[in-house]
Structure 1
Amino acid sequence: MKTPPIYLLPGWLNSDPDHWQSRWETALGHSRVEQSDWEWPRRGDWMARLDEVLLGDARLNETPAVLVAHSLGCQLVASWAAHSQHTARVAGALLVAPPDSEHPQMPPQLHNWRPIARQRLPFPSVAVISTDDPFCAPDRAAEMAAAWGAKLLVAGPLGHLNSASGLGDWPEGQALLAELSQSAGPVHRAGPA
């Protein structure tokens, strides 16, 4: 079976050069989904962009992608999967540090990410959370993971699982991605993609 293409979905403000997503992009050649506005992320625009990228990749006709989302990227996966007609182009998702965009203290730039999409994802997923994430209490993150049907992994006290967490290349995350990629199945279509 072919190795699935990997798409990196950064969160609000994008992933800085020291972020594990950026390091994976540089070292492993994974593709980052670029958004037109990282500062004022509009949910509909981000969802449309993800659809555009996945539809534009002919490899996904044979081998669906695995999405690697951080922070608001996790909310993007959930919202996109709840609305897109093209979810068969994705075989799985690694969801890292989903934020609580419904929290009253979230910045106003994120208010259009309410309510959080809570439909079950149509592909296998793993959610990795921290016990001291400043953007989401562990119980809220666990609720989201359960609603999405994601396997929940608690990484311990690692903040927002970003560059400030000192993860470097985050080999544990690479191992999770490899496991998810191996278990991802071929494209199954009920109708036209």
Structure 2
Amino acid sequence: MTGTSKPTIVIVPGMRDHVEDHWQTILATRLREAGRTVRTVQPLVRNRLSRDAHVANVVEVMARITGPVLIVAHSAGVITTVQWAQWHDANVRGALLAAPPDFETPLPDGYPTLDELETHGWTPVPRKPLPFPSIVAASSNDPLGSPERVAGLALDWGSRLVDLGPVGHLNPASGHGPWLRSEGLVEALEHGWCHMAPRPAS
């Protein structure tokens, strides 16, 4: 593989994301139609709350890829990606991290509790800078994470923060199917147009 080879796009869905009208599914189809190689981390049938099981799924997909990868993650898939990056190494050219949830603040009814998230290994959320360029795409009215908390995650991870405006959780339940801007953000990462956010002086 050369440094100019096209990266494999790895889609990392959240716990509820792998549905036909989700933007990640639509993006994967569009990229394949354009001749790109796309791999999707399949949703868990068992142990859906297990952080280790979700990370193991990413490890399995990455092990079958030769050459560079570019990650496209949404919701809990963002936290899975960040958790994976703490212990595993791969040739990651960049990561688009869309609508990360705040697992350290109580979530709305119907979502896991703080105790459940802690028990299953999701917290504390890693705050170390990611070892690859990344973009955090944040909603201004995401019910799973306030703009201030998500901005803090982006700063700690060394990510470029992109404000999407009021798009809810950027999922079908929020009224969103296709997300055409995702293709431009993927292109920005692929071509190195994304710059790491400056770290505050220590």
Q: Is the 8 A contact 1:13 1:39 kept in 2?
A: no
Match of 1:5 in 2: 8
Distance 1:18 1:77 in 2: 22
Match of 1:50 in 2: 58
Instruction: Report the residue type matching 1:91 in the other structure.
Output: R
Residues 168/91 of structure 1: CA separation in 2 closer, same or farther (3 Å cut): same
Match of 1:65 in 2: 69
Residues 36/5 of structure 1: CA separation in 2 closer, same or farther (3 Å cut): same
**TM, length-normalised to structure 2:** 0.81
**TM, length-normalised to structure 1:** 0.85
Match of 2:87 in 1: 83
1:18 correspondence with 2:21: yes
1:48 CA drift (Å): 1.8
1:66 CA drift (Å): 0.4
Instruction: Report the residue type matching 1:6 in the other structure.
Output: I
Instruction: Report the residue type matching 2:42 in the other structure.
Output: E
Match of 1:115 in 2: 124
Match of 2:196 in 1: none
Match of 1:96 in 2: 98
Q: Is the 8 A contact 1:126 1:151 kept in 2?
A: yes
User: What is the CA RMSD across the aligned residues, in angstroms?
Assistant: 1.8
Aligned length: 178
Identical amino acids, percent of aligned pairs: 38
Distance 2:191 2:175 in 1: 27
1:40 CA drift (Å): 2.4
Q: Is the 8 A contact 1:16 1:163 kept in 2?
A: no
The structure with the largest helix share of the pair is 1
**Secondary structure in 1 matching 2:191:** helix
Match of 1:188 in 2: none
134-143 vs 111-120, greater mean Cα deviation: 111-120
Q: Is the 8 A contact 1:121 1:148 kept in 2?
A: yes
Match of 2:197 in 1: none
Match of 1:36 in 2: 44
106-115 vs 118-127, greater mean Cα deviation: 106-115
**Secondary structure in 2 matching 1:104:** coil
10-19 vs 113-122, greater mean Cα deviation: 10-19
Distance 2:143 2:46 in 1: 20
17-26 vs 138-147, greater mean Cα deviation: 17-26
